[in-house]
Amino acid sequence: MKVKRLHLQNYGRFEDLTIDFAPTSEKMGNVTVIVGNNGAGKSQILQALAINISWLIVNLSNDDFKGRHLEQSVIKNNCNKATVEINVEHDGFEKLDSKWSKTNIFEEWHIGVTRGTKLKMASHNIALSGFQKIVESYQYLFDKDQESSLPIIAFYPVSRGVDTTPLEVHSNSDFTQLIAYDNATESTVSFKDFFIWFREREDIENQESRMMEESIVKEVEESNSLIKLSLSLLNNNEGGQFRLDDRKELEARLERLFSLIETGKSELARGINMTDKPLSCARRAIERFTSFKNPRIRRQGMPTMIVEKDGEELDVNQLSQGEKSLLALVGDIARRLALLNPSLDNPLEGEGVVMIDEVDLHLHPKWQHDLIDKLVATFPNVQFILTTHSPHVISDRNDILLYSLDDGELTEMPNVYGEDANTVLTKIFDVDIRDSKVEEQFTVIRRAISKHDYVTADTRITELAEKLPSDHLELLKCRLLLAQAKLAKSNKDESNHAKD
C-alpha cells in the first residue's frame, strides 16, 4: 500500500495544494523529501496526511481505535472550510463476479471541517467509503490466513524524544498485530511502548532459551542412563553369547540412545539460535543505523536498556538526545513491522507508509549523510515521506523525489545526488555558503586579481587573514590565484624584455 497523492484545500497556509509522492513514473524510489524554511508548511503537509490516514487504521483494525478529526484552527484565514483528500494505491484483491482476483486498487477519500459560529460548533465531514476496497482486500487475506500481513502506518512528528526508558512489565502483554497501530498518527510521540515491548520480548526469548536448555539437559541425562544400562548388560554377559532377548534389548537401547543423541544435537543447534524473531528485527535495525552493538536489558536494580559502544557498556539514558532518538525511532519502526508481519521470514520487508518530520532532528551531519540509504536498505518496501533542513540528507540518493516549499508554493527540485553540501545549500535551500560580508570581500579580491590590481588584492587578503583561520580554504584559493597571476605577469614581462 502506498499513498500516491495528497490534496489540501484551505488547509493552514495552503489555498489549493496537490503533492504527488514517490514512487512515480519518473522517480521509482520510495522516498519523498520536502524542504523549506521554518513556517513554510512542511509539518502541516505531514500532519494533514497523518490525520486523514488515521481513518484507514480505524477500518483496518475494526476495534476501539478512533480516527482524528481536523481542528477548526487548521482552516485557512478568511475561509469557511478545509478539506484533506488522499489517493492510495494497493496491490491486493478485489471481488469480481463472485471471485477474488489479484488487482491493483486505486482509491481516494477525504475529510473536512467547517468553521463554527457563536451559535454552532464546527462540523466535520468524513467521506470514507473510498477505501472500502482496500479494507475488503485485507479482510479477504485474513479470512484465509490469520497471520497475513498488514501495512505499517506511522507518523513521527517533531515532538518526539526519549527522556527516560521506562521498562515496567505489563501482566497482560498483548503482541497482536493491531497493537502496532497504537498511537501511530498522534501529534506527539513517546517511545515508551518500544522500550517496554523490547523488554517483554526479551523476557520471552530468555524463557524459551531456558526451556531449551532444560530439554537438552534432560536428553543428555537419559542418554547417560542408557549408556550405563547398556554397559551393565554387556558386563553381565561375561564374554558368553547373548541370549536373543538380551540382544534385542541391547539393540533397542542403543537405537534409543542414538535417537536421543541426534535429538540433542538438533535441539542444541536450535538452542544456539534461540532468538526471538521480532526482537532480532529491532536489534538488527538499531545496529545498522547506529554504532551501538548488542542492545539488551539489564535487570539488576532498576531495569534499563544498555548498548555497547566502542567496547564499553552504556545505559541508553547516558546517550545523547540524537543517539537515543535515532535508536528509538528505527527500533519502533522495526517493532511495528514485526508485529504487522508475523508470517514473513524478514518482517522488516513489510510494506506501508512512514512519515517523519525533520528526519535529521538532533543528528550529527555524519549520521545525516547516509540516513536515507539506511532507511531504504533496512525497510526496503516502506514508503517514506520526510521533511528535513539538512543538505546531507537530500544528497544521499539519486531516486529521491524532492520538493521545495516556499510561501505555500510547492516546486519539484532537480536531483542533487553526490553534490557537496555548499552546492546543495545554495541550489536547494537558497542559503549563502558563508557570511555575506566575508563573501563580499572575496568578490573584491577576485575582481582585483582579474583586473591585475594586485595591490588591492594583497591588501584585502591581509585584512581577511587577520579574521579568518590560517587554513581557510577560500582564503588559500585566493592566495594561490594571486600568486599564479603574478607569476604569469612576470613571465610575460620577461618574454617581452627578451623580444626587445
The residue-averaged pLDDT of 40-56 equals: 92
- Looking at per-residue pLDDT, the higher value among 49 and 415 belongs to 49
**DSSP output for 379-402:** STTEEEEEE---HHHHTS-SS-EE
pLDDT at res. 416: 85
Q: What whole-number distance in Å separates Cα of residue 23 and Cα of residue 348?
A: 19
pLDDT at res. 48: 95
Q: How many CA atoms lie within 13 A of 252 on its CB side?
A: 7
Whether pLDDT at 348 is above 90: yes
Q: Is the peptide bond before 23 cis (omega within 30 degrees of 0)?
A: yes
- Looking at per-residue pLDDT, the higher value among 277 and 154 belongs to 154
Whether pLDDT at 355 is above 90: yes
CA–CA distances in Å: residue 264 to residues 219, 253, 257: 6, 16, 10
Q: What whole-number distance in Å separates Cα of residue 367 and Cα of residue 355?
A: 19
Which residues in 37-57 are b (16+ Cβ under 10 Å) and which e?
Answer: eeebbbbbbbbbbbbbbbbbb
Q: What whole-number distance in Å separates Cα of residue 198 and Cα of residue 193?
A: 8
Which residues in 140-178 are b (16+ Cβ under 10 Å) and which e?
Answer: ebeeeeeebbbbbbbbbbbebbbeebebeeeeeeeeebb
**Per mean pLDDT, which range of 14-23, 98-107, 398-407, 487-496 is the poorest?**
487-496
**Per mean pLDDT, which range of 7-11, 247-251, 380-384 is the poorest?**
247-251
**Per mean pLDDT, which range of 60-64, 66-70, 204-208, 232-236 is the poorest?**
232-236
pLDDT band at 244 (very low <50, low <70, confident <90, very high): low
The residue-averaged pLDDT of 221-241 equals: 61
Of the ranges 196-205, 334-343, 464-473, the best mean pLDDT one:
334-343
Whether pLDDT at 351 is above 80: yes
Of the ranges 87-91, 173-177, 204-208, the best mean pLDDT one:
87-91
pLDDT at res. 128: 72
Whether pLDDT at 175 is above 90: no
CA–CA distances in Å: residue 499 to residues 387, 485, 487, 496: 65, 21, 19, 5
3-state DSSP assignment of residue 3: strand
Percent of the chain with pLDDT over 90: 32
Query: In 62-113, which residue ranges form alpha helices assigned H by DSSP?
Result: none
The residue-averaged pLDDT of 390-419 equals: 88
In terms of phi and psi (left: phi > 0; alpha: psi -120 to 50; beta: otherwise), the region of 475 is: alpha
> pTM for this structure?
0.78
Whether pLDDT at 408 is above 90: no
The residue-averaged pLDDT of 315-322 equals: 86
pLDDT in tens, 122-136: 788 877 777 788 888
Of the ranges 200-209, 357-366, 375-384, 408-417, the best mean pLDDT one:
375-384
pLDDT at res. 193: 85
Angle between helices 277-289 and 321-340 (to 10 degrees): 150
**Per mean pLDDT, which range of 246-250, 286-290, 365-369 is the poorest?**
246-250
The residue-averaged pLDDT of 360-375 equals: 88
- Looking at per-residue pLDDT, the higher value among 131 and 201 belongs to 201
**Per mean pLDDT, which range of 86-90, 309-313, 420-424, 480-484 is the poorest?**
420-424
Which of 12, 70, 87, 79 lies closest to 45, judged by CA?
Answer: 12
Strands 81-96, 14-20: pairing is unpaired
Whether pLDDT at 238 is above 60: no
Query: In 434-472, which residue ranges form alpha helices assigned H by DSSP?
Result: 436-450, 454-465
**DSSP code of residue 316:** G
Q: What whole-number distance in Å separates Cα of residue 500 and Cα of residue 494?
A: 10
pLDDT band at 226 (very low <50, low <70, confident <90, very high): low
In terms of phi and psi (left: phi > 0; alpha: psi -120 to 50; beta: otherwise), the region of 319 is: beta
pLDDT band at 189 (very low <50, low <70, confident <90, very high): confident
3-state DSSP assignment of residue 45: helix
pLDDT band at 492 (very low <50, low <70, confident <90, very high): confident
CB 420 within 8 A of CB 394: no
Strand ranges, E, within 269-393: 293-298, 304-309, 312-315, 352-356, 382-387
The residue-averaged pLDDT of 417-429 equals: 78
Whether pLDDT at 224 is above 70: no
Mean pLDDT of the chain: 83
